[in-house]
Structure formats: C-alpha cells, structure tokens
A and B are shown apart, each in its own frame.
Chain A
C-alpha cells in the first residue's frame, strides 16, 4: 500500500470517527437532565406559577426542546454540517458568531503558551541530556513532574495572590483593560465589544502609537494566564525530550559521531536531537489539536473570555446548543491534528512504510 492509499484510508477513517463523534455528542446532551428553561427562569420574580409555567413552555418551544427526538437530531445535524450552530439558549446570540469572537482569545492564549512551553521544554531537555545523571538532571525531572501535577487553578490563584493582590504588577481579570469596555462598565467582558471593532479601527486608520497601546493592553492582561499555562505545559515537553533523547544517545550512530571526535554539543544537536525529533514533532501536532479544549480552568481563574470559559458558563446554564458546538469543533480539531501528525511521520521519516 502506497502513501496515497494510506492517506485515503486515514481520511475515510477520520470521517467515520467524526460521524461517531457527532452521534456521541448528541447522545450525551440528550441524556443531560436539567431543563435549560428552568435554569434561565430560576431568578424569575414575576407573579404566579401559571405565568412561570407559560414562560417556561414558550422558552422550550423556542429552543425546540419539545420537538420529537429525530427532528431534533436532524436539526442538530443540519446545524453542524452548515456550521451554523443556531442560537445560544441563554444569550440568544448566534453560536457561530460568539465562537468566532472567542476563538481568537483561546488560540492566542493556548497557542503561544504551547509554543513557548515547547521551546523552553525542548531546550531544557537538551540541557538536561547534556548534563545527564547529575543533580541538575534529577532536579529538573522533579521540577517537571511537580509543575505537571500542580493544579492549574491553584497556580492561578497563587499568581493572583502574588502578582495581582500584593505586587499589583498584573491585572487580575479580563482580556483587556476595563476602560476599553463600552461605557467603562466594569463587569461583562463580552468579547464582541473589543475584538472586532478595535481591529477594524486599527485597520482603517492605522496609528502606531494606538496600535502599540492596544497590543500592550492585551499582552499585559494575557501575561498571567500565559505564564500559568506555560509553566503547566513545559514539564511534559522536558520529560518527553529527555526520554526520547535518552533512547537515541545509546544508538550506534551517536557512538560513531563521538568516535569521530565531534563536540558533545554537535553530537547532541545534530545527531541525537534530529533523530529524537520525530515523536516531538508528532506530539506537538497533537497538542495543537487540543488547543481549543485546553484551558477551561485557566480561563475561569483569570476570567479570560475564551472557549474554555464559555464552556463553563454553558455547563452552568445547561446550554446544549453551545456545548454541542464546542465539543464538535474541538473533536474536529483533534481528528485533523491526528491526521496531520500521521502524515508528518511519513514526510519527516522516510523509513516509515505505510501499510
């Protein structure tokens, strides 16, 4: 079987997987008890139980909760396939639009955290291999294990305690300074306020100072979540680099390279790292697939309006529509990342034979 046949097989398989995911997704949220209408109306202070019941019924009908199951499934399928996920149950905004507003935050946060973590982790891993077997080695491994097992929300709380409450270096919540919100209202960091209009502003009347102010504001607010996530991620990369390079440095070609009298640094980077990079690259591809699902806790700690925080809010309100859409998009990303990782294997390593 050649490469082409393999690719076709992978793609067909991924399609089946996606269909299965769509089905599972629907089943999970069908099972979900808790009436979103009741959740929304929990704060109802109007008069009379009948009125409340009437309101609830209206809401259920509006959200299509009273339809038979198969109609709901068809609607759901249509929504997913047309990328028009319907309206949020609670906010009554188009899910697709809200998602488009929120995804940049998540991608920015997790994408940069992942990239920084990979760079730090891999470099540190090489350094550890360079001085393997010593105190530095075991201390680094221990550190990586510890940061990997620390609860992220606690790290977040500690950073808030230190850098926000006590030192007041960084802000505690939100993706941009409070003053930027419409009318200076402090509370809802609704995303659509900032991103689209500000970006348009920059595009149309470009002003370097203004643009820098904008970038600075965003970066300043993203620092703590970014820091937390980077610390949380880098340990895994350190361990992975160390493990794969430990495999390769016992190989014959490394011994040969040493025998040739090459410097240890050259041996490690040109010979060992290159050969160890295969699992690193594929797991990088996989971790980018998980970017969209990664930061529910961190975003909740720092009130960062990405997909994770949205998921949390949607779970609180039992907002099926939103959750189905999020799960679908995340699963889609993971599947695609898997396919890419598989293909990368073939491109990078010519020894791999498909079959």
Chain B
C-alpha cells in the first residue's frame, strides 16, 4: 500500500506552476486566442512607447511651441500626395514650407545676400547694417542678436518733397502643385526720425487728422505675389486710403499708452503692431461689422489668434481663444457680440494684436480694399498663389510720406529685422491634422492609452463587483439573494446608456468618473451568471462534505466555490472590455469626454463637429482602432472559453 505523502507548500506551488504551464500549452495552440492576444499586446506596446512614436503632445500640438499650428487646419495625410488619384490621392496638396526661414540679418545682394533693394529715389535712400538692434526692452521678446537692416530716408530743406518708395524683397520657389492652407509671417520694425507731425486716425470722428508728433509718416506693407504677376498686400491689409499703416518713429511708452487708450486693448507686448480687420467672409452685402465688448473691464488678451465660429446669419459670433491650448470647443475666454450695423453706415472698430509672429489667416480679409471680391477663405490664398508651382516675390514696401514737410530737413530710419514667411501646408504627417491644426496621428497613438486604461479598469471593477454580488447572493441566499437580485432587476430595467450619460453629465466627465460609473453599472449580467453557477455548486457533494467537516462560510466560499467560478471570471474579464471601450467612445462622441485626454471617441467627435466626415482618414482610423481592440478582447475571451470550459469543446 502506498503511503500518503503529506502535502507541502512546495507541492502547492509546483502544482500551480504545472497548471499554468498546461494552460499556456493549450492556449498557444489556440489560433483565435493568440491572434487576440497579439493584437492586444501590440496596442499595449503602442500605448507604452507612445512618446517615442510621436514627437507631439497627446492633443497633437508641438510641445515646444503649443500655440503654433503644425500645418493648415484639416490637412490631409502626406502620403495622399504621392498616392494615385484613383485611390483617393490628391497631387494638389502642399506641404509645410518655410521659403524664407529666419534670415537673421537681412543682407542685400550687393553684399552677397539674397535680398534686393529697389527704390525710386536712390539719392535720398541709403542703407546700412545696424549693430544696435531694437532699443525697446520688452517682455517676452528675445532681441535680434545680429542687428538689423537700417534704411534711411534723408532730404534736405531745399529739395522738393516726394513720396518715396523702398522695396526690399527676395524671390523664392514654391514647389507644390497646390496652394498653402494659410500663411504666417514675422516682421520686426523700428522707426526713428526727426520731423514734426503725423497723420492719425480719429476713432470718434472716423476721420484722419493731424496729430503733432516728431517724425515723418512711414507706411509699411508686406507684399507677396508671383514674380511676373500682381503683388498682394498680405500685411497689414490696408483698408483706408488715408490710414495706411503708420509707424511713429521712436515708438516709446507714451505712444504705447496712447494706443491703449484708443482701442481699449491691453497693449502689453508692442513689438510689431498688426491691424486685423474682420469682414464677413460669407456674404458680400454685409462687409462691415462692429465689435462690442460685453464685459467692458475685460480686455482682449493681445496674443490671441482669433477665429470666428458661427452660422451664416452673422448675428451672433463667439470668439474662441485658441491660446488656451487643449480644448477645441469650450475655451471662449472673451465673448463678443458682433452685430450687423443697422444703418448702412460703414462704422467699424478695430482690434489691435501685437505678436512677435503675425498670423495672416485667410479668413480675415481686409474690408475696403481691392480684395473684397473674395468670399471663400481660400480665395485669397488662391489669388496670391496663382501659379503653382512657381516663383514668388516676398518683400516689405516702405513709403516715406513727406509731402507735408516741405521746407524742412527730414531724416527717418527704418530698421527691419527677422523678416520671414511660413506657408502652412494642406497635408501633414501620417494622418493629417484636425480643425485646429493638431496632429491626428499623435491623437490616435495616445488614444490607445485611454482605451486600454479605461477598458481594463472597468472590466476589473465590474467583474469584481459582479463576482462578490453573485457569490453573496448565490451562497447566502434568502434575504441577501432577494435584495441583491431585486436591485439587479432594477438596474436592468433602467436604460443603460442614457443612465450612464445622465450620471456622467452629473458627476463630471473625467476618465476616473467614467471608469467608476461604468464599473458600477456593468456588473448585472455577470452577477447573475455567477449566482446561477454558485446555486448549482452549493448543492454538490464537496460542499456538503466541507460543511460536514465544519468549515465556515468564508472558508467554503474561498476554497471551494471561488476556484470553481474563476474560469467564468477570466472569460468575463476579457469579454467585458469591448463594451467598456465602445461605451467610452460613444460617450465621447456625444460630447462627454475627458477634456484632459484625447481618446478615439473624441477624435470622432471632433470630426463630426468640424463637419469633416468627408475626411475619411480622420474618420476611419479611430473607429478601426476601437473595433480592432474590441475584437481582440472578444477573441481572447472566446479562446479562454474554449479552454476553460471543456464541456463546450467536446460538443464541437
């Protein structure tokens, strides 16, 4: 007779190992399970190494310059440029291009530079490379290191006054077949002079008037256009013949405060002063709009890029601040009302923005100027880039307007620095950009984290609650069973998704809330399953004998019942992930998303909100990811079901 060996702890561990080994051996032979597992593993790896896969933030911004767009809004993926047309490719897409990229010191052709200088009065104009840079110590502005190009206009008392034009320009090659989405340029100007009065615009009378001041008026324009075509004024977008962009020389604090008083705008960062004018880009009839600051105390922050969001009636516009990065929807810091002027009078108020970098957005079309024929936002860029690919001229035109200074010695110097141009492309990266110019690929990559995190936690939470409820209801029975199951019935009767939405709307949309709510609402089915299993296990002989030996309730549940329902737990852990992932996506698509995280559902929400369903690359990939992840977990669950429920296997 064989002697019974006493069971040791070591044996236990060995047994457990051999069980796991057996399980794995069976599992590795299961094709579906392996497929599911490898998809999940792929997603996990992507989620973990997300920062290595994309240089941008989860929202898709450049971490070094969060305010700058990565490309034009709603840019297409780059690979669409090379794809044949019948496959959906579009050769007329352009890429980001910096044709004139931080030139530093503007060096003229004569001095082996790339810039050319043209003038109609060569005798009165002289140039030099100034060492001095900008005299103003301004917050948030890094001084140009290598000085600036100084153009001096000089006329003696005896000579007759004449408007003098200087044009400093360069040529560049635009290699793409399509127009850029939008343009951005920088220019730094400083004007020094010694004359006596200046033409100023009076905001109350809407008439230009002479203001005593010590300089010659200088008009500055930035021009861009094809080499043999029309040069378009892209900045500052002059709108009034009497009020071109006038730079006072020796701009100092006094002037700055003066401007502030004029426009009620916080003028804290006066490097370059840009006038942006708003016009109705939808209808031709209403050309002028009026700004009304509802909250008089609150000044518009200067460095805002402003876009208009609104409908075609043009009655009610809200202005959203894009600088408060992150949220594409609700970040209105200043709310304005733009109303249609009741009379036909052309009244307007203006908005001054001072930024180191000036966005010439194609939606903001100057008002009374030759360009009013543009309705569509792209028309403007299309007009400028009339030949693609082609050669283009980009330059700054300076006009010294000394007509009113006859009989006086006049001398004004204009310092130009950091003059550049950037064309945002209509295609970008692997997946293009969203309506705010954020990288979609980055959003897709980081969306993996949210879905996995949420899916796994929800399934763990839901399954553990379901397990506890099922065990308690099934084993304890009677009043506990009755109470728990009636509560279960109650939850089953209330509509699931609407209830979830209501609770999310109530308690907040952070991802932790979502996890908790989905976990606490998603245990019913599993609890019923466990309960029915426990009810049958309870009557088995081994439980009877354990009771007879005198084992307590806790011991029986822990050692005899629980191990027998664990297979259900494993299966349910896998199969309840897809529901959670799709539920999160659905909530996000309805607008209930965590504003701090970018998820696949939120990408689709953005696509819907931006009316970009036609941008198939934006719609397909997040949905494919959701489905793939869901299917992977379902495959895993089925494989586990196959392996852990041998009864099923036999039947097939």
Contact = CB atoms under 8 A, between A and B. Distances in A.
Contact of A297 (B586, B607, B631): B586
Given A149-B630, A154-B604, A290 B495 contact: yes
Interface in B193-213: none
A230 interface: no
A76 B31 CA distance: 56
Contacts of B586: 151-153, 297
Given A34-B505, A151-B585, A17 B494 contact: no
Contact of B631 (A29, A145, A154, A296): A145
Nearest to A243: B648
B133 interface: no
A293 B498 contact: yes
A293 B502 contact: no
B494 A24 contact: yes
Contacts of B493: 17, 21, 331, 334-335, 338
Contacts of A331: 493-495
A24 B487 CA distance: 11
Nearest to A145: B634
A202 interface: no
Given A21-B490, A24-B490, A315-B505, A151 B626 contact: yes
B506 A154 contact: no
B619 A21 contact: no
B17 interface: no
B34 to A, nearest CB: 14
A38 interface: no
Contacts of A334: 492-493
A173 B489 CA distance: 36
Nearest to A330: B495
A65 interface: no
Contacts of B635: 145
Contacts of A20: 486, 490
Interface stretch (A77-85, A156-164, A188-196): A156-164
Given A151-B586, A153-B589, A21 B494 contact: yes
Interface in B599-635: 601, 604, 607-608, 613-614, 616, 619-620, 622-623, 626-627, 630-631, 634-635
Contacts of B616: 161
B502 A28 contact: yes
A90 B396 CA distance: 56
Is the interface on chain A under 10, 10 to 19, 20 to 34, or 35 or more residues?
35 or more
Interface in A286-341: 290, 292-293, 296-297, 300, 308, 311-312, 315-316, 318, 323, 326-327, 330-331, 334-335, 338
Interface in A7-39: 16-17, 20-21, 24-25, 28-29, 31-34
A93 interface: no
A213 interface: no
B590 interface: yes
Nearest to A300: B590
SS class, residues of chain B in contact with chain A: helix
Is the interface on chain B under 10, 10 to 19, 20 to 34, or 35 or more residues?
35 or more
B497 interface: yes
Contacts of B353: none
A272 to B, nearest CB: 13
A29 B631 CA distance: 36
Contacts of A157: 604, 607-608, 613, 619, 623
Contact of B505 (A146, A153, A318): A318
Contacts of A29: 502
Contacts of A250: 651
B98 to A, nearest CB: 34
B496 interface: yes
Nearest to B498: A311
A25 B586 CA distance: 23
A327 B494 CA distance: 7
B614 A161 contact: yes
Interface string B341-383: 0000000000000000000000000000000000000000000
A158 B638 CA distance: 28
A133 interface: yes
A146 B614 contact: no
A160 to B, nearest CB: 6
Interface in B482-541: 486, 489-490, 492-499, 501-503, 505-506
A246 B579 CA distance: 26
Nearest to A250: B651
Given A165-B613, A312-B590, A146 B496 contact: no
Interface string A153-182: 110011011000100000000000000000
Interface in B559-600: 578-579, 582, 585-586, 589-591
A263 interface: no
A150 interface: yes
A297 B630 CA distance: 18
A145 B630 CA distance: 9
Contacts of A326: 495, 498
A4 interface: no
Interface in B441-491: 486, 489-490
Which of B496, B505, B585, B589 has the most chain A CB atoms closer than 10 A to its own CB? B589
B630 A31 contact: no
Nearest to B632: A149
B337 interface: yes
Given A151-B626, A157-B608, A161-B616, A246 B651 contact: yes
Nearest to A45: B337
Contact of A296 (B489, B498, B623): B498
B652 interface: yes
Contact of B501 (A132, A152, A315, A330): A315
A290 B495 CA distance: 8
Given A146-B631, A161-B616, A17 B489 contact: yes
Nearest to A162: B616
Contacts of A28: 499, 502-503
Contact of B585 (A24, A31, A154): A154
Contacts of A330: 494-495, 498
A159 to B, nearest CB: 10
Contacts of A34: 505-506
A327 B630 CA distance: 29
Contacts of B501: 296, 311-312, 315
Contacts of B497: 293, 296-297
A17 B490 contact: yes
Interface in A100-134: 132-133
Contacts of B316: 45
30 contacts: A20-B490, A21-B490, A21-B494, A24-B490, A25-B494, A31-B506, A32-B505, A45-B316, A145-B634, A149-B630, A150-B582, A150-B623, A150-B630, A151-B623, A151-B627, A153-B586, A154-B604, A154-B619, A154-B627, A157-B607, A161-B616, A165-B613, A250-B651, A293-B497, A308-B498, A311-B501, A323-B502, A326-B495, A326-B498, A330-B494
**Shortest 6 CB-CB contacts between residues of A and residues of B:** A293-B495, A154-B623, A149-B630, A149-B578, A331-B493, A151-B582
Interface of B: 294, 316, 337, 486, 489-490, 492-499, 501-503, 505-506, 578-579, 582, 585-586, 589-591, 601, 604, 607-608, 613-614, 616, 619-620, 622-623, 626-627, 630-631, 634-635, 638, 651-652
Given A28-B499, A34-B505, A315-B498, 14 more contacts: A28-B502, A31-B506, A132-B652, A146-B631, A152-B586, A153-B589, A154-B585, A157-B623, A250-B651, A297-B590, A327-B494, A327-B495, A331-B493, A331-B494
Interface of A: 16-17, 20-21, 24-25, 28-29, 31-34, 45, 132-133, 145-146, 149-154, 157-158, 160-161, 165, 246, 250, 290, 292-293, 296-297, 300, 308, 311-312, 315-316, 318, 323, 326-327, 330-331, 334-335, 338
